[in-house]
C-alpha cells in the first residue's frame, strides 16, 4: 500500500493513472486475500494463489505497452530484443509498472523465475486437489438428480 501511495503522490492524477493504480491495488488485495486463505486452509486458497503468482510471471517492456509486477521478490531472466542482449536480474521487495506509448523504449521480454516456480508448485497442488473436488461435485449432482438427501447418505466410498 505504501508503494501505491508513493507512486500515486508522484504521478499526475489523470483518470487513466487512477484506473491503473486501482487495478494494481486490486492485485495486491488479491495477494493479501490469497495469503490469508492459505493460512486458514480455505478450499479455494490454492487456486487464488495460483492466479496471484501467475500474474507475476510475464514482464514486457515495449514502445507500445509495458507491464511488470512482482511481490515479494523477482529472479528474472530477460531478453532485450532491440539490443540483442540477455541477462539475469534479482530484486527483493515489490514493484509494478504499466505504461503505454513510451517512445524510444527497447523491446524487452522477461520472466520472473521465482514466480514461475511458485506458480508451478501451486499448479501441482491444484491438480492434486482437483480430482477430489470433481468427484465430490459429481456425487452431489447424482444425489440431487436422484432426490436423496446428502445427510442420509451412508454408502459413500472415498
**How confident is the model over 7-59, as pLDDT tens digits?**
667 766 778 878 888 899 999 999 999 999 999 999 899 999 999 999 999 99
What is the reported pLDDT for 156?
Answer: 47
Calpha distance 74→85 (Å, rounded): 19
pTM (predicted TM-score): 0.75
Residue 106 has phi, psi (to 5 degrees) of: -70, 155
Do residues 71 and 31 make contact, with C-beta atoms less than 8 angstroms apart? Answer: yes
Taking only the tens place, the pLDDT of each residue in 70-85 is 999 999 999 999 999 9
Cell of 139: 456425487
Looking at residue 35, what is its pLDDT? 95
**87-105 mean pLDDT:** 88
Domain ranges, ordered by start, for the chain: 2-152
**Nearest residue to 48 (alpha-carbon basis) of 62, 66, 35:** 35
Instruction: Determine the pLDDT at residue 157.
Output: 46
What is the number of other CB atoms lying within 10 angstroms of the CB of residue 120?
14
What is the spatial distance between Cα 42 and Cα 36, in angstroms, rounded to a whole number? 9
Amino acid at each position: 500500500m505504501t508503494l501505491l501511495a508513493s507512486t500515486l503522490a508522484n504521478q499526475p492524477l489523470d483518470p487513466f493513472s487512477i484506473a491503473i493504480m486501482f487495478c494494481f491495488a486490486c492485485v495486491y488485495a488479491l495477494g493479501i486475500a490469497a495469503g490469508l486463505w492459505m493460512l486458514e486452509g480455505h478450499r479455494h486458497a490454492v487456486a487464488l494463489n495460483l492466479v496471484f503468482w501467475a500474474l507475476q510471471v510475464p514482464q514486457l517492456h515495449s514502445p507500445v505497452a509495458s507491464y511488470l509486477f512482482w511481490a515479494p521478490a523477482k529472479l528474472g531472466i530477460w531478453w532485450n530484443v532491440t539490443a540483442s542482449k540477455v541477462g539475469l536480474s534479482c530484486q527483493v521487495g515489490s514493484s509494478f509498472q504499466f505504461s503505454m506509448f513510451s517512445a524510444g523504449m527497447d523491446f524487452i521480454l522477461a520472466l520472473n523465475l521465482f514466480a514461475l516456480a511458485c506458480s508451478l508448485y501451486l499448479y501441482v497442488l491444484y491438480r492434486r486437489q482437483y480430482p477430489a473436488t470433481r468427484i465430490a461435485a459429481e456425487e452431489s449432482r447424482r444425489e440431487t438428480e436422484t432426490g436423496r438427501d446428502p445427510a442420509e447418505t451412508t454408502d459413500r466410498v472415498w
